[in-house]
Amino acid sequence: MESSTNNTAWKTLWKLRIPAKVKIFVWRTLHGALPCRVVLANRHIKVSGQCPLCAIGAEDILHMLFKCPRAAEIWSLLECQKFISEALEYDRAGSAVLEFLLCSSFRSGIPPDGFPELVATTCWYLWWERHKIGHDEPVQLPAQSAFAIRSLAANFTAASPSKAHLKKQGWTKPPTDRVKLNVDAGFDADSLRATMGAIIRDHHGNFVSATNWKIDFVADVEAAEAHVVRIGLELVALTGCTRVIIESDSFRM
Chain residues binding Zn ion by CB under 5 A are: 51, 53-54, 57, 68
Cβ neighbours, 10 Å, residue 34:
19
Residues ≥6 apart with Cβ < 8 Å to 51: 37, 57, 58, 59, 63, 64, 68
**Cα angle at 185 between 30 and 120, to 5 degrees?**
30
- Name the minimum Å distance from CB 196 to Zn ion: 32
- Name the minimum Å distance from CB 127 to Zn ion: 13
Instruction: Pick between residue 74 and residue 198 the one whose CB is nearest to Zn ion.
Output: 74
Instruction: Pick between residue 76 and residue 211 the one whose CB is nearest to Zn ion.
Output: 76
Instruction: Pick between residue 51 and residue 200 the one whose CB is nearest to Zn ion.
Output: 51
Instruction: Pick between residue 130 and residue 201 the one whose CB is nearest to Zn ion.
Output: 130
Cβ neighbours, 10 Å, residue 119:
26
60: amino acid identity, one letter:
D
- Name the minimum Å distance from CB 233 to Zn ion: 41
Instruction: Pick between residue 131 and residue 165 the one whose CB is nearest to Zn ion.
Output: 131
Instruction: Pick between residue 26 and residue 71 the one whose CB is nearest to Zn ion.
Output: 71
Residue 200: φ, ψ to 5°: -110, 135
- Name the minimum Å distance from CB 94 to Zn ion: 13
- Name the minimum Å distance from CB 57 to Zn ion: 5
3-state SS class at 72: helix
- Name the minimum Å distance from CB 56 to Zn ion: 6
Q: Annotate 175-200 with DSSP letters as a single string.
A: PTT-EEEEEEEEEETTTTEEEEEEEE
Residues ≥6 apart with Cβ < 8 Å to 125: 145, 148, 149, 152
What letter would DSSP give residue 213? E
Instruction: Pick between residue 58 and residue 192 the one whose CB is nearest to Zn ion.
Output: 58
Q: Is 79 left (phi over 0), alpha (psi -120 to 50) or beta?
A: left
- Name the minimum Å distance from CB 98 to Zn ion: 17
**Cα angle at 43 between 39 and 46, to 5 degrees?**
95
